[in-house]
């Protein structure tokens, strides 16, 4: 690699790392707030009531009822939210969803930064002796 090409590559790498780092910082501070969360994704449940003369027997189901979708050891569980808890429980589970989604984005950026730095290492390392 010529000195010029390397300098140009370093310049772009530098720009890219600055951008990724800014993105990561922004994402991190959007989840570092300490507000309570509920372990579960917001979910809506529709149901049949079981009465044969009800519209839900063949038509549209009752609902939506607020619920949580909770993943534990590979299985998904649906937990119904009590009516009185609904407004705050939904906010807390949305916070959890945002946390999980943001964490996934941060991890993706971390991998990208790692890969860029490994690439730089591979292209600048010289044999010795």
CA-to-CA separations, 34 to 21, 57, 68, 84, 96, in angstroms, rounded: 22, 45, 21, 24, 11
Q: Is 104 near Zn ion (CB under 5 A)?
A: no
Candidates 54, 78, 80, 86: give the one binding Zn ion (CB under 5 A).
54
CA-to-CA separations, 94 to 2, 16, 33, 57, in angstroms, rounded: 51, 31, 14, 32
Task: State the nearest-atom distance from the C-beta of 64 to Zn ion, in Å.
Answer: 14
* Residue placing its CB nearer to Zn ion in the complex, 29 or 46: 46
Chain residues 57-86 in contact with Zn ion, contact rule CB under 5 A:
none
CA-to-CA separations, 3 to 6, 16, 55, in angstroms, rounded: 5, 20, 76
Q: Which stretch binds Zn ion (CB under 5 A): 54-62, 77-85, 106-114, 120-128?
A: 54-62
Q: Is 18 near Zn ion (CB under 5 A)?
A: no
The DSSP letter of residue 72 is E
Candidates 49, 80, 104, 117: give the one binding Zn ion (CB under 5 A).
49
């Amino acid at each position: 690699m010529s000195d010029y090409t390397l300098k140009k590559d370093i310049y772009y790498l530098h720009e890219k790392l600055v951008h990724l780092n800014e993105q990561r910082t922004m994402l991190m501070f959007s989840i570092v707030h300490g507000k309570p969360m509920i372990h579960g994704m917001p979910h809506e449940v529709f149901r049949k009531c079981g009465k044969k003369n009800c519209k839900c027997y063949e038509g549209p189901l009752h609902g939506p009822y607020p619920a949580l979708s909770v993943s534990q050891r590979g299985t998904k569980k649906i937990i119904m939210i009590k009516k009185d808890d609904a407004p705050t429980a939904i906010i807390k589970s949305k916070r959890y969803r945002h946390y999980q989604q943001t964490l996934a984005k941060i991890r993706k950026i971390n991998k990208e930064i790692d890969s860029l730095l490994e690439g730089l290492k591979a292209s600048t390392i010289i044999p010795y002796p």
